Amino acid sequence: MTNKFYVTTPIYYVNDKPHIGSTYTTVAADALARAHRLRGVPTLFLTGTDENSQKNVEAAQKAKAADLQTYLDDMAAIWQKTWKTLGISFDDFIRTTEERHLKAVKRFWRAVEKSSDIYKDSYERMYCVGCEEFKTQFEVKDGHCPLHPNKELQLVKEENYFFKASAYKDELLKLYHTHPEFVQPVSRMNEVRGYVKDAFEDFSISREAQKLSCGIPVPGDDSQRIYVWFDALINYMSAVGYGTDDKLFNKWWPASLHLVGKDIIKFHCALWPAMIMSAAKSDPLLQNENGTPKLPERIFAHGFFTIDGQKISKSLGNAIDPLDLAKEYPFDAIRYFLLREIPFGEDGDFSKTRLADRYNSDLGNTLGNLLNRAISMSRKYFDNKVPSCELQDTRIGLEGTSWAGSEGMDTLWQEVDQYIDAARLDLALETIWNGENCSLISANKYVEETRPFKLAKDNLEQTGIVLYTLLEACRQYAWMLEPIMPNIAEEIIRQLGQDPKKERKQGIKVLKTWGGLKPGSELPEPKILFPKLV
């Protein structure tokens, strides 16, 4: 078992409120954090806001905010509140205008400077505020950034500080070779490797202060402000005490997993490790015992999704506010849909029709009905109680059914755990629903095969075995699904007559052991888990 799990989302620009795209990354990080907490692994889940950016300044002006700081405070509060309302279990929320972050950035800058990797040079290039990035001539199409065709590119001609990123090209390529898991999925690793090989150049990491109304001053040179990406990436360290608390830093750093969208892999998978490689040369806190740099363990880039086939964009006005969507569907169902519908790492489409289909079929029919039938029949034939089941192997006497027994359930757990380790929550869910061993589909099939409603007339002992199997399977599904649908999981446990908090305290090993549901315990009247929506 790993000794800790530190997972992050990108820090979001506050030029807008959260939409379903940022919710996707955040929900995935939340599910992985919950899965590790359930395993008993000390977990830190970080999210936050990226505030020293020109696009925030423009948004503040557009919103006619009293001043920039008020705008940033209000927007950061909206992001925090949205995640809280949606039950996102973040442990810390970092803002890049916080004092702890400024201290971290200062220390980091000084370390890179000490490693002789910062120099001054004059510069003339096109800057895209949409990407907060300089564009090369190859990236500009018809005088515009292809990602932001409605925004004018700005010609920037000034003297800046540069980071000698190109000096780390070979070290990066070696890292990708020796640690192929550093960037996932493989397709993104190939993309990053190609970029570093062919196009990785020194980065301009500051801008003239007089031209900007935001940004952290360059230590020792007030006339320059630190480039927003150089500043923003350091958030992953400032939140765990870099520059303020060495002990805390040693406890959590390196990050186990940075979750990002595919749009920002160059920064996370190339610039960020190069920055750490440089800073580590002069800052022992950033070194492993053997002197190598303490790099994040893994970066997983998920795909982007469209809405009903269209790019999410302000001008189309199709961005979905997660809080609005949560008024139509229980948020657990939305979490399920987001994580199940799109293979993690690939692009996909968000459609309300598909959401409704999955709600009714996967959740309502396959999971909700199973629980409801198992509880209702047990109450009917066994006096409102969990039937007794002496037999450990629940297949005895019922051979020939498609139910794979408690061993099958162990296998299902192993499969789910492996997918969670690989951050493939979509596959974990696919296996729980459709896998070969004790999936929800096979549990439903087992009901059809054994027909407990008929069996009860002839053989109550066997009926008890079938129903106990179904109830206990539902208990196990609840814990498997807890990271993805935490409220539904608790509700299932309660409907089985148990206290979810007490059960959880027993630890994952006990939770996974077949037979946790006590025969003879009371079964309350079942409630519909996924009511039909009007």
Show contacts with ligand MSP in window 345-384 (CB under 6 A): none
CB of 481 to ligand MSP, least distance (A): 23
State the burial class of residue 487 (Cβ atoms within 10 Å of its Cβ: 0-12, 13-18, 19+): middle
Between 38 and 338, whose beta carbon lies closer to ligand MSP? 338
For ligand MSP, the closer CB: 25 or 498: 25
Query: At residue 161, what is the residue type?
Result: Y
CB atoms closer than 10 angstroms to residue 350: 22
Considering only 22, 47, 256, 394, the residue that binds ligand MSP (CB under 6 A) is: 22
CB 484 within 8 A of CB 429: yes
Stretch that binds ligand MSP, among 210-218, 256-264, 446-454, 460-468 (CB under 6 A): 256-264
Measured in residues, the chain has a length of 534
Answer yes or no whether residue 50 interacts with ligand MSP by CB under 6 A: yes
Calpha distance 505→37 (Å, rounded)? 11
Q: Report which DSSP code applies to 269.
A: I
User: Any contact of residue 168 with ligand MSP (CB under 6 A)?
Assistant: no
Distance CA(469)–CA(374), nearest Å, equals: 9
- Cβ at position 431, least distance to ligand MSP in Å: 24
Q: Does 264 bind ligand MSP (CB under 6 A)?
A: yes
Structure tokens at 123: 């510069």
Binder to ligand MSP among 5, 6, 12, 230 (CB under 6 A)?
12
Number of residues interacting with ligand MSP: please give it, by CB under 6 A. Answer: 19
Q: Does 240 bind ligand MSP (CB under 6 A)?
A: no
Question: Residue 8 Cβ, how far from ligand MSP at the closest point, in Å?
Answer: 8
Minimal distance in Å, beta carbon 269 to ligand MSP?
12
Segment contacting ligand MSP (CB under 6 A): 260-268, 389-397, 468-476, 504-512? 260-268
When asked if residue 58 is in the footprint of ligand MSP (CB under 6 A), the reply is: no
**Closest distance between ligand MSP and the C-beta of residue 344, in Å?**
11
Smallest gap from Cβ 18 to ligand MSP, in A, equals 9
Distance CA 295, CA 292 (A): 9
Q: Which is nearer to ligand MSP, 168 or 229 (CB)?
A: 229
Min dist. Cβ of residue 2 to ligand MSP (A): 23
CB neighbours (10 Å) of residue 151? Answer: 15
Q: What is the side-by-side order of every strand in the sheet holding 206-208?
A: 206-208, 221-226, 217-218
DSSP structure class, residue 208: E
Distances (CA, A) of 247 to 76, 251, 288, 327: 28, 6, 15, 43
- Rounded (10°) angle between helices 460-481 and 425-434: 170
Interface map 300-319 toward ligand MSP (x if CB under 6 A): ----xx------x-------
What are the phi and psi torsion angles at 410 (to 5°)? -60, -45
Q: How far is the CB of 500 from ligand MSP (least distance, A)?
A: 31
CA atoms of 233 and 31, how far apart (whole Å): 23
Nearest approach in angstroms of CB 171 to ligand MSP is 21
Binders of ligand MSP in range 326-345 (CB under 6 A): none
Decide: residue 198, CB within 10 A, 0-12 exposed, 13-18 middle, 19+ buried. exposed
Of 469-528, which residues contact ligand MSP (CB under 6 A)?
none
Quickly tell me which residue has 């003339």 as its tokens: 124
* Binding string, residues 217-236; x marks residues near ligand MSP by CB under 6 A: ---------------xx-x-
Helices of type H across 42-156: 54-62, 68-85, 99-114
User: Which of 5, 6, 10, 71 contacts ligand MSP by CB under 6 A?
Assistant: 10
Rounded distance between C-alpha atoms, residue 209 and residue 427, angstroms: 48
Q: How far apart are the first and last CA of the chain?
A: 45
Question: Of 305 and 344, which has the nearer Cβ to ligand MSP?
Answer: 305
Binder among 7, 11, 216, 375 for ligand MSP (CB under 6 A):
11
Q: Which amino acid is at 248?
A: L
**Distance in angstroms (rounded) separating the CA atoms of residues 287 and 120:** 27
13 part of the interface to ligand MSP, by CB under 6 A: yes
Instruction: Give the residues lining the site for ligand MSP (CB under 6 A).
Output: 10-13, 21-22, 24-25, 50, 232-233, 235, 260-261, 263-264, 304-305, 312
